[in-house]
Amino acid sequence: MTVEELNLWYGDGTHALRDVTFDLYPREILAFIGPSGCGKSTALKVLNRMHDNDHGVRIEGRVLMHGEDVYARHVDPPMHRRQFGWVAQKPNPFPLSIWENVAYGPRIHGLKRTREELADHVEDCLRRAHLWDEVKDHLHDLEGTDLSGGQQQRLCIARALSTEPDVLLMDEPTGSIDPIATAAVEELAMELKHRLSIVLVTHSMMQARRVADRVAYFHLGELREVGPTELIFNAARDPEARAFIRGKFG
């Protein structure tokens, strides 16, 4: 993906993103970092057109996926969103069985033709999310909401993977789970990047340093720095980025 000169205004006139330009490379984790309210989540939602139903939002610039402007008039937003998986900060499994949580997406999109194909696909997604061994005996008699917080988040990741996305968008995915579950999600993200691209919004500088191949530093709606993680953390050129990183690490 390529984002070029992206500007976004909310309905109240707030200029939330200002001339944002960056690339998302195949099979990488790109972490969005920066202070609260700086535009990280806003930029994330632009990628899969989640602002389409926000009243009064205006977007200028280009967002290219496979060379095509995703905001062009001929692009069907639901079809575009099928290329993305989404993982929110708070686990939000459906109040359905574990199996139905994962099977729902591929079923409605017609990705698997037979019950056997769907069952194999559900198992594969749960395995990729490191959850299969914990839930394989309760696929139909436990709801997703019956699981622990960390298990729920891994179920949400399995659900996101079930539609076979090209890009996984993660908006502070460990913000409401414990440290052990956080470590499991981070390990999972680093494994998944070998098959797809991941954009991760995080407030944890340690997390960004552990898992991201590159980081993008946002400040007041501007993208001030973007580059390899260690380069930005050790030698950021932008003074605001340097101050932010040093403040987090002491």
Percent of the chain with pLDDT over 70: 99
Alpha carbon distance 182, 140 (integer Å): 26
Mean pLDDT of 12-32: 97
Phi, psi of 188 (to 5 degrees): -65, -45
Looking at residue 162, what is its pLDDT?
Answer: 95
Looking at residue 111, what is its pLDDT?
Answer: 77
Alpha carbon distance 165, 106 (integer Å): 11
Mean pLDDT of 207-228: 97
DSSP the chain: -EEEEEEEE-TT--EEEEEEEEE--TT-EEEEE-STTSSHHHHHHHHTTTTTTSTT-EEEEEEEETTEETTSTT--HHHHHTTEEEE-SS----SSBHHHHHHHHHHHTT---SHHHHHHHHHHHHHHTT-HHHHTT-TTTSBGGGS-HHHHHHHHHHHHHTT--SEEEEESTTTTS-HHHHHHHHHHHHHHTTTSEEEEE-S-HHHHHHH-SEEEEEETTEEEEEEEHHHHHHH-SSHHHHHHHHHHH-
Looking at residue 108, what is its pLDDT?
Answer: 86
Q: What is the pLDDT of residues 152-183, one digit of tens each?
A: 999 999 999 999 999 999 999 999 899 999 99
User: CATH fold of 27-48+81-245, please?
Assistant: Rossmann fold (3.40.50)
And the tokens for 69?
Answer: 């402007």
Q: What is the pTM of this model?
A: 0.93
Residues 118 and 105: beta-carbon distance below 8 Å: no
Mean pLDDT of 61-79: 94
Q: What is the mean pLDDT of the chain?
A: 94
Residues 130 and 188: beta-carbon distance below 8 Å: yes
Alpha carbon distance 24, 195 (integer Å): 14
Percent of the chain with pLDDT over 90: 92
Looking at residue 176, what is its pLDDT?
Answer: 87
Mean pLDDT of 129-150: 96
| Contacts for 22 with CB less than 8 Å, ≥ 6 apart | 2, 3, 30, 216, 223, 226
Question: If we measure between CA atoms, which residue out of 182, 231, 171 comes closest to residue 46?
Answer: 171
Looking at residue 249, what is its pLDDT?
Answer: 61
Mean pLDDT of 144-150: 96
Looking at residue 247, what is its pLDDT?
Answer: 84
Asked if the model's pLDDT at residue 250 lies above 90, the reply is: no
